[in-house]
Structure 1
């Protein structure tokens, strides 16, 4: 239900800005590294490592005033996740498709590494100053990102 409300709000806000914008449109490409980790509120499971990932995406800035723009885009986050140490053993991945011959019962203290990929839709407002010589300062506030898991894999 929350996803439906968020997507509907996004579409309404985006549609309202399309009618009020000037013809100034800027497109860009984004490449950035990311560090991610996982945490849980279970006392028997502890965070035990980070993942170094990569984010790729396209960004569109639609200016509705000279120094004010609405931005959105489409991005892909690769290798998010982290490593979790399970202090108690047992059957942890009960709903997983394990290879033939792999015992689904794990020993205590096992580290399970998770690699997760996301499709992301960022949006927000961009504010920038007038140019000072060759410099221009800008801020993107707020940056809200809708993330949808596209793939999740685990390794023992």
Structure 2
């Protein structure tokens, strides 16, 4: 009996050791899982996954001619000071990478000098032929930026970042100021140039869509909590022709044979700009 009792005691001690070992393993695994969860929660709290804000951006914009009709006088194509504003939204992919989009109202401009052969009909005869020498454009687009934002870790209160992506724009309106001379159907030279101020709606002579490359660099300055002041400089390079390839209004009198059969002027120019963006992200 004593021997059986001793064997039972040894068996119980062995079972208790097994259970203690298993319990220790369970506790260890549980502790590791808790630590991992806490670490994950802490990491998730290090950055906000969604941010939004407002921005304003003065820009210097210009038209880059791509048609031989504009190339001869391209040095005289002047830039314009314009403005944009809108909503910024930022979706964090990680602490240092974000997908940035938004909705912006962007005004762009610039001037093009036309060849002496460009004209259109305006007003009533006899002197209703307007020889167009210069046109200043005033575009307005609704733009959707689609960019990747790459940020450094916080240095003091600042983060430095770079941006790369594209802008997709939809023209909402466009007007023009024209400079030129009125003459008759025989194209007799008129002595004085006149200006037609910003009253010409030329929507039918421009493209509806705009696609552009968007490159930028800037800083985020932490104000308090997740609120930050954002300042960046962005270069926006248009890919698409801003004008109708063959004008529906402007004719080219270098193409014979008579006034009626003159062909539409071939035109191509892209819109480009450099913008200073200032905004607040929440």
Query: What per-residue deviation string (whole Å, max 9, x for no partner) do you get for residues 104-148 of structure 1?
Result: 62236x2111111111100121121221222222222x2211111
Structure 2 residue 105 is matched with structure 1 residue 82: no
Of 125-134 and 113-122, deviating more is: 125-134
Match of 1:144 among 158, 161, 166: 166
CA–CA distance in structure 2, aligned partners of residues 139 and 42 of structure 1: 33
SS at the partner of 2:60?
Answer: strand
Structure 2 unmatched ranges of 5 or more: 1-46, 179-282
Query: What per-residue deviation string (whole Å, max 9, x for no partner) do you get for residues 36-75 of structure 1?
Result: 1123233333343221100111110111222221111001
Structure 2 residue 141 is matched with structure 1 residue 118: yes
Alignment of 1:44-123 (within 5 A): 44-45=69-70, 46-47=73-74, 48-78=77-107, 80-92=108-120, 105-107=129-131, 110-123=133-146
Change beyond 3 A, Cα 1:89–1:73: same
CA–CA distance in structure 2, aligned partners of residues 90 and 135 of structure 1: 53
SS at the partner of 1:66?
Answer: coil
Q: What TM-score does the superposition give when structure 1 sets the normalisation length?
A: 0.69
Q: What TM-score does the superposition give when structure 2 sets the normalisation length?
A: 0.40
Match of 1:154 among 163, 168, 176: 176
CA–CA distance in structure 2, aligned partners of residues 38 and 52 of structure 1: 12
CA–CA distance in structure 1, aligned partners of residues 61 and 69 of structure 2: 21
Change beyond 3 A, Cα 1:40–1:133: closer
Aligned residues: 127
Change beyond 3 A, Cα 1:126–1:23: same
